[in-house]
Amino acid sequence: MSTNAIRCRQTSILKGCSERWHYRRGLHSSYSVSSRSQSRPSPEQQELSSTTQSSLAKELLEVTELTAAETRKKDRQHLFERSQTKNPIENYLGHLQTTKHELKLEDIERYKPPKVANPKSPDYETIYNEVISSLMRSFSQPQLRQFLQLYGLPSPHHRGNKRTFAVKILEEKWGWPSLAKVSQDRIDWSEVSERQFYLDPAQSFLLMGKDGTNLLNLSRQYNVSLSFTANPMSLRVTGLKGSLKQIDAYLQTLKKDIDLDIFPLPFSKTLGPDIAQSISRLAGAYVKILDDVKLSISFLKSQPQTLSIAKQLVTQVSTQVCSVMQSSNWC
């Protein structure tokens, strides 16, 4: 085949491809334009402003210059943008639902169980979640937040969700223990541990009582083993973790109940430590000699009579000591 024949054939092929490409592009452009012009304009659409018409013309111009793949890509982008935009109608309907009537505490109190479920019951978690689910199904998030305000409870600093608000009402207003606390309590009442509580002499004496019976009753009440150690003075407790927490709470209450009174001696003569210890046991208050002219009396505010008894005994003993010493001209 000659060179001229080959060139003519190549030119013919290229020309045919070019014609087919222009034909397909023309079909695509015609389809894009016709698809937008098939719907019959409504009277409102006929009254479009010149700005809207020019915008529509610009959009048509952009579409006719896009390939089929680019057109499909742009359509998908428009669909995605519309899906990310909240429907204002849904927002308005939600607003109507939350404001259709003024909320009152009676509206949510109807869902309050007649009594708190037993935290030690194996069904506590199930009952707890049922109450929470009931509140979440019955009220919206804004409504639950409004109930918090009606109860006088502070709203969470973070945005929170329906469960957060429902849990806050159930635990802080209706008095249900949290699931975390119930779970921890179960662990505490199944594991044995040992703990040491540091006490001063006055606290140790008032904990034991006049004859030590208070310490024995404490051991029986909380089912623990109690023992005192010296250097430093402390109370060692062995038992279930739950019992140790109860002992800790008891000691904190005891310490808050202790008060101190400084009592001057009737005569400027000190009492011996043995006499102070005997007065402490008789009175039920801890007597400590400070110097020759005064002493301190530690007592429980819930038992003020022990202070009076201790003062009477100190006065009586001091008088007797002074009488004995007076015969020798020491008092």
User: Tens of pLDDT along 84-112?
Assistant: 454 554 554 454 455 556 889 999 999 99
**271 contacts: CB under 8 Å, gap ≥ 6:** 265, 289, 295, 314, 317, 318, 321
Q: Assess contact for 257 and 300: CB atoms under 8 A.
A: yes
Q: What is the pLDDT of residue 52?
A: 52
| pLDDT tens digits, one per residue of 167-213 | 999 999 999 999 999 999 999 999 999 999 999 999 999 999 878 88
pLDDT at 29 over 70: no
Which region, left, alpha or beta, applies to residue 17 given φ > 0 means left and ψ of -120 to 50 means alpha?
A: alpha
How confident is the model over 36-53, as a mean pLDDT? 50
pLDDT at 16 over 50: no
pLDDT at 159 over 50: yes
Q: Assess contact for 148 and 157: CB atoms under 8 A.
A: no
Q: Give the highest mean pLDDT range of 190-194, 227-231, 264-268, 272-276.
A: 190-194
Q: Assess contact for 125 and 182: CB atoms under 8 A.
A: yes
> Which backbone phi and psi does 207 adopt, to 5 degrees?
-70, -40
Q: For the ranges 47-61, 239-253, 312-326, which has the lowest average pLDDT?
A: 47-61
Q: What is the pLDDT of residue 122?
A: 92
pLDDT at 329 over 80: no
Q: Assess contact for 85 and 139: CB atoms under 8 A.
A: no
**Residue 98 has which token pair?**
């939350």
Greater pLDDT, 74 or 204: 204
d(CA 99, CA 105): 15
| pLDDT tens digits, one per residue of 273-315 | 899 999 999 999 999 999 888 899 999 999 999 999 999 999 9
Q: What is the pLDDT of residue 309?
A: 95
d(CA 132, CA 113): 11
- Other beta carbons within 10 angstroms of residue 248's beta carbon come to 13
Greater pLDDT, 324 or 262: 262
Q: Assess contact for 250 and 290: CB atoms under 8 A.
A: no
Q: Assess contact for 235 and 226: CB atoms under 8 A.
A: yes
What average pLDDT does the chain have?
Answer: 78
